[in-house]
Amino acid sequence: MMESMESCVPPGFRFHPTDEELVGYYLRKKVASQKIDLDVIRDIDLYRIEPWDLQ
């Protein structure tokens, strides 16, 4: 299931936002149902995927 969700980021890309960036930008956009510019954060249903299948 997770194999079909390949990322479009270049090799070596590192996603390391600060706490302020996570809350002030990403979480705020998520709550407002706005699209996030990066394809790094996925929306998944944690109740449908086993923990060992998460990557």
Domain that includes residue 21, residue range: 15-53
- The answer to whether residue 2 sits within a structural domain is no
Model confidence over 9-54: pLDDT tens digits?
788 888 888 999 999 998 999 899 998 877 777 788 889 989 888 8
What letters, b where the CB count within 10 A reaches 16 and e where it falls short, cover 16-53?
eeeeeeeeeebeeeeeeeeeeeeeeeeeeeeeeeeeee
- The answer to whether residue 34 sits within a structural domain is yes
- The answer to whether residue 3 sits within a structural domain is no
- The answer to whether residue 7 sits within a structural domain is no
Tally the domains of the chain: 1
pTM (predicted TM-score): 0.54
CA 44, CA 5: separation in Å to the nearest integer? Answer: 10
Contact 39, 13 (CB under 8 A): no
pLDDT surpasses 70 at 3: no
Tokens linked to 3 = 């194999």
Torsion angle, alpha carbons of 46, 44, 26, 32, to 10: -100
